[in-house]
Amino acid sequence: MNSDADNFWANVCRRLRRVLGRDIPSIEEAEAELNAAKDLPLAPNQVDEIVASVQDSLTADVWDEGGVAEDAALSAPELCDWSALVLNRNPGAPEEFAEERIQEVRWEALAGSKKGIERSRFDWLLQQQSQEKAAEAAEELVQSIGIDTVPIDPFAIARDEFPLLCIDCRDFNDRFDGQLQYEMRSGQFVLLLNNKYDAFWTQQGHHPRTRFSLAHELGHYFLEGHRDYLKNGGVPHASQAEYRRDSLVEREADAFAAALLMPSMLIAPMVNEAELSRNRLEKIANYFQTSLTSTAIRSVLISDFPCALIGIADGGVRWSFHSKPLIQAGCYPKGKSDHLLKRVRSHWEMMLSQDGTEHVQQGILMEWFETYDRSHLINVPVCEHYMPVRTMNLLIILITLDERDVFDVDADDFEETDDD
């Protein structure tokens, strides 16, 4: 006995002997006893006893002793293995449990977070619902005013709210795009609007970003929770409109602004004439006098075709929006990432060096989306439409794909497809 392992066990035996106060056989003694033992089979009841004692000790450790929490019954690696096991079940026979787990993984992906499943599903639902509700409020407002022509004038909507709402529109430099505050003494809302972008606008009216910022602040004014917050003494915040802030209230105000300037009844017929492309998005943006970014996001969200919009900023993927048909086809977001594909990085670098141009390139589905159980989709070709937005140091990529590529196969699996 000279190996490290033997020395280690000899040491353990000595210590155990001290702690337990009983004589523990040394390794040599145990080995000698084992060698000397007669080779007798165990009686059936002895086997049962051993099995029962092992089972008892396992359940006791996990469930009964020391009040171990239910969550602790499986460690994190075990949970991962279990999930993988369920997801990688034998293909063929449907399994309720596995289907549920796949659904949960999808929700996790949609929430773009590694937090607990229930938590992220709840967050994602909450965010989706609150943004949809904000957009609905804007659409209702447009209908109640009876607006049916474009471009929609948010200044006229704001003026109609006078004297409860006053606008202070000037160049506020880089302080903010807009800010809404409540004056307790006069009982008035004051909307500070930065018009610095108008200096670069050669057409009639205001720059699309000024219009969006005003519509965003109108969101804070018209949306119930936002308005009450300010009236109850809440601190006004400096808004950076156009999807540059992650917080729920900012996303709600952005959703309100997009729906106010591009109400679905006016934009949906145009968007769904055909698959989206940079040219078509520019036409729509021109028509509604909205920025390319907000038009692209709004168009993707209401598109009847499978498509997505990816936002690249600071050298990484920062946000993404997906059309409903894309989600129904089983293609899910990959979430934020600092890792860019080589060709995407070169587009990003070209944009920074000011010589990037719009460009269409081919990719494959797995480079942009998670497909989980629909792994046969991973090599489906996708079109990447690169659209640099230099004023915002942003590269947006419209991803389009042929719906026949994703819906023809296994269409029966997806109850919500239009084909059904």
The binding site for Zn ion (CB under 5 A) comprises 239, 250, 253
Least distance (Å) between residue 241 CB and Zn ion: 7
Least distance (Å) between residue 197 CB and Zn ion: 17
Upper half-sphere CA count for residue 232 (Cβ side, 13 Å): 6
Cα distance between residue 126 and residue 227, in whole Å: 20
Strand ranges inside 143-236, DSSP E: 165-170, 178-183, 188-194
Which token pair is 207?
Answer: 């720059």
DSSP per position, 107-151: HHHHHT--S-HHHHHHHHHHHHHHHHHHHHHHHHHHHHHT--SSS
Least distance (Å) between residue 226 CB and Zn ion: 8
The residue among 253 and 271 lying less far from Zn ion, judged by its C-beta, is 253
Distances (CA, A) of 346 to 15, 135, 317, 337: 63, 36, 14, 16
Residue nearest to Zn ion (CB): 239
Least distance (Å) between residue 88 CB and Zn ion: 45
> Is 179:236 a contact under the CB 8 Å cutoff?
yes
The residue among 35 and 173 lying less far from Zn ion, judged by its C-beta, is 173
DSSP per position, 230-247: HHTTPPP--B-TTT---S
Least distance (Å) between residue 147 CB and Zn ion: 23
CB-based burial of residue 294 (10 Å sphere; 0-12 exposed, 13-18 middle, 19+ buried)? buried
Cα distance between residue 181 and residue 191, in whole Å: 7
Least distance (Å) between residue 123 CB and Zn ion: 20
The residue among 256 and 305 lying less far from Zn ion, judged by its C-beta, is 256
Least distance (Å) between residue 179 CB and Zn ion: 8
The residue among 208 and 388 lying less far from Zn ion, judged by its C-beta, is 208
Upper half-sphere CA count for residue 356 (Cβ side, 13 Å): 26
The residue among 32 and 238 lying less far from Zn ion, judged by its C-beta, is 238
The residue among 290 and 303 lying less far from Zn ion, judged by its C-beta, is 290
The DSSP 8-state label assigned to residue 337 in this structure reads: B
> Is 278:398 a contact under the CB 8 Å cutoff?
yes
The residue among 45 and 247 lying less far from Zn ion, judged by its C-beta, is 247
Least distance (Å) between residue 293 CB and Zn ion: 16
H/E stretch holding 23: none
Cα distance between residue 214 and residue 256, in whole Å: 11
Which token pair is 81?
Answer: 């293995």
The residue among 213 and 289 lying less far from Zn ion, judged by its C-beta, is 213
Place of tokens 């915002």: 392
The residue among 108 and 250 lying less far from Zn ion, judged by its C-beta, is 250
Least distance (Å) between residue 103 CB and Zn ion: 34
